[in-house]
Structure 1
Amino acid sequence: MEALSLCSWTPPVFPVRRAVEAHTGHKFTMKGCSNRTGEEAPLSNTSSAFAVLGVQPTCSAAELKAAFRAKVKLFHPDVNRTGEGSDAMIRRVIQAYEMLSNYSRLEIIERECLDPFDNPESEALDVFVNEALCVGKGCPYSCVTRAPHAFAFASTGTARATSQGHGEDYQVQLAVGQCPKSCIHYVTPSQRIILEELLDSILNVPYDCSAEADLLYSLIVKAKFENNRYQKPKRQPKASNQNVDWF
């Protein structure tokens, strides 16, 4: 069984989003997201996008899609645990596919991304801060003060997780437990990347993001429920095909 599988991801919240789009005429888009992880500047042309995906400009739509899925598996932090910059690379792959396909970034996440909210791929040990609710520097129980090795203040004044892998750290657990807004959540790496992409869309368009905020809240609730149900894969018993001479 593969550690990761790509599938069509359509959780119940997305039909609600589509209904809102149809009623208001507002199309959700995730273009122009902020540079959260310090990756390189946005791709400037289609040539660089083709290079990121490793395909020729003459490739078919099916080949483009296959290349995107292959790159997702190659660079995803759930697989590339030892590699640095996995988050930046997966975002760059999504950006390249967005540039070369007819899909918006959120549509790509819906249609092509991993399905981490229905089937968590690992234990939820990464931390995600919902900056739309965070009090920031005015918080009396600041997570940045409690666990400065895992959190820092963003340019907006809100707290942000700057380092992962501290899910079992007592100071991080204390920061999560004492957050007065309950805006810090334990999530899987896959869930975190998608939630960060959606959050960036909200922060970039704060005056027209109520539906995106509702979607973010719905995904956080679903992640919490599914993560509590996660069970580690059972280890397969070791078997030997060698004959044993008992005499």
Structure 2
Amino acid sequence: MSQLITAYEQILQTAISEDALGPYDPFEEPEGPADRIFVNELRCLGVNCSYSCVKAMPDAFRFDEETQRARCTSRRFNDDEDLEYTLWQTVGQCPERCIHYVTKAQLDILQLELQKAIDGMSPIDQVEYSLYELLAKAAYENGRERVPKRQPRKSSKWVDFY
């Protein structure tokens, strides 16, 4: 009987998440720049981390009282380039690679998924896999918006490769 209830809850949660996405999937077509921060608390080492983002950027991160894992409190520092650079360094130096740049719509969906695991509504390994997939898709799609670092050289000369 409990397996039947669990299966029904999973089907219901899948239907709810598909309804929340609707025809627009922010992971397929990002609506803008990835300027928001998402911390995957399932991978975060929390207070045991050797390079703590909370120590490096106390203005942007804090430890959650319930989970003792890092959580982002401030989403952006557009007015101060030094703080923005320090935040970028902090994201890149996370030993577990659990801090990610995402768009606002992506952030909302990722936080809903994470909250399911924290509240015990879904199995942690299932949510962790789902977050992994969504973050991989977000990293790929969000990176496509960037301007190339260098423009290709153009030449009007004909080149013979033989």
Relative to the length of structure 1, the TM-score reads: 0.50
1:187 maps to which of 77, 82, 102: 102
The number of equivalent residue pairs is 137
Structure 1 stretches lacking a partner, 5+ long: 1-21, 31-102, 233-247
Residue 44 of structure 2 is aligned to residue 134 of structure 1: yes
CA shift at 1:166, angstroms? 3.2
Q: Give, as a single letter, the amino acid of the residue that structure 2 aligns with 1:227.
A: N
1:209 maps to which of 100, 124, 139: 124
| Distance (whole Å) between structure 2 residues aligned to residue 153 and residue 113 of structure 1 | 35
Aligned positions of 1:32-111 closer than 5 A? 105-110=16-21
Alignment match, 2:69: 158
| Distance (whole Å) between structure 2 residues aligned to residue 185 and residue 215 of structure 1 | 15
| Distance (whole Å) between structure 2 residues aligned to residue 126 and residue 222 of structure 1 | 16
TM-aligned CA distance change 1:180 to 1:226, over 3 Å? same
TM-aligned CA distance change 1:229 to 1:207, over 3 Å? closer
Please tell me whether the aligned partners of residues 62 and 70 of structure 2 are also in contact (alpha carbons under 8 angstroms). Answer: yes
Alignment match, 2:150: none
Structure 2 stretches lacking a partner, 5+ long: 148-162
TM-aligned CA distance change 1:163 to 1:204, over 3 Å? same
Alignment match, 1:229: 144
Please tell me whether the aligned partners of residues 125 and 166 of structure 1 are also in contact (alpha carbons under 8 angstroms). Answer: no
Q: Give, as a single letter, the amino acid of the residue that structure 1 aligns with 2:139.
A: K
1:216 aligned counterpart, secondary structure: helix
CA shift at 1:25, angstroms? 2.3
CA shift at 1:228, angstroms? 0.5
Alignment match, 2:29: 119
Relative to the length of structure 2, the TM-score reads: 0.74
Please tell me whether the aligned partners of residues 146 and 174 of structure 1 are also in contact (alpha carbons under 8 angstroms). Answer: no
Please tell me whether the aligned partners of residues 141 and 180 of structure 1 are also in contact (alpha carbons under 8 angstroms). Answer: yes
Aligned-residue CA RMSD (Å): 2.6
Identity of aligned residues (%): 39
